[in-house]
Structure formats: structure tokens, C-alpha cells
């Protein structure tokens, strides 16, 4: 992994350092498609699960200063069926320098399934 502190930092690095044959028109079209899908995806998540637990580390990534304003706003007003939860620390074997949110999500899932 790149060893960057957040997914937003990773995205900024990739935009600046990685070559993509991807135009601004492509990006705008993809962003518009995602914006249309996200509310339906959140509704689907609620239909599939009574409760969703989110590690504090994931919440911190969603509230990071480099996160899009819409993401930060949504995170500050989470639906009642999503709750942020701190989990015990634990090493994740087989993951080299994962993002903090990924480690926290996997650790939380493991702790609940015991």
C-alpha cells in the first residue's frame, strides 16, 4: 500500500502522480452517476440490515478535512440505524499497511462474530 493516512490523501496522490487516460468529461459523468445511485444504495443497505455498525476510524475518515463536504455532512447526521462504535485493537494478518478504517472494520466484524 502507499502508506498514506486517509483515503482522501490516497485519492489526491493518485490524481497528482498517476497517469489516467480519463478526461474531465469522464469524471463528471461518473460523479453524476454515483450521486444518482448513493441515496438508493443507502436505502438498500437499510433494507438489508436492521443495524449497521461503523468503526470510529471509518467515521474519522468520512469526517476528514479532505473528504467531500457532502460526505462530511452526511456523516454528521447519520441515520439512526447506523452507529459508530469503538472496537478493541487487533492485528489483521495478511494486510500490509491497510487504511485505518479497513483495519477497524475488519476488527469490529471479528469481535461481533465471536
Residue-wise pLDDT for 62-98, tens only, equals: 888 888 887 888 889 888 999 888 766 555 444 445 5
- Whether 44 is in a domain gets the answer yes
Domain extent at residue 28: 7-112
Which triple of cell numbers denotes residue 39? 441515496
- Whether 97 is in a domain gets the answer yes
- The closest alpha carbon to 67, from 3, 2, 11, belongs to 11
Residue-wise pLDDT for 8-42, tens only, equals: 777 777 777 666 676 778 877 877 787 777 777 88
- Whether 38 is in a domain gets the answer yes
* Cα 53 to Cα 8, 67, 84, distances in angstroms: 22, 20, 6
Three-state SS at 84: strand
* Cα 81 to Cα 48, 70, 105, distances in angstroms: 12, 19, 17
- Whether 75 is in a domain gets the answer yes
**pTM of the predicted model as reported, rounded to 2 decimal places:** 0.52
- Whether 1 is in a domain gets the answer no
- Whether 11 is in a domain gets the answer yes
Give me the number of domains the chain comprises.
Answer: 1
- Whether 106 is in a domain gets the answer yes
- Whether 50 is in a domain gets the answer yes
Q: How far apart are CA 51 and CA 22, in angstroms?
A: 38
Amino acid at each position: 500500500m502507499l502508506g498514506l493516512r486517509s483515503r482522501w490523501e490516497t485519492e489526491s496522490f493518485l490524481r497528482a502522480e498517476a497517469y489516467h487516460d480519463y478526461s474531465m468529461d469522464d469524471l463528471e459523468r461518473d460523479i453524476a452517476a454515483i450521486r444518482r445511485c448513493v441515496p438508493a444504495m443507502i436505502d438498500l443497505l437499510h433494507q438489508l440490515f436492521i443495524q449497521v455498525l461503523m468503526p470510529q476510524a471509518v467515521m474519522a475518515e468520512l469526517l476528514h478535512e479532505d473528504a467531500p463536504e457532502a460526505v462530511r455532512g452526511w456523516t454528521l447526521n447519520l441515520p439512526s440505524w447506523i452507529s459508530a462504535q469503538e472496537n478493541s485493537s487487533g492485528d489483521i494478518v495478511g494486510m500490509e499497511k491497510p487504511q485505518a478504517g479497513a483495519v477497524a472494520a475488519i476488527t469490529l466484524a471479528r469481535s461481533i462474530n465471536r
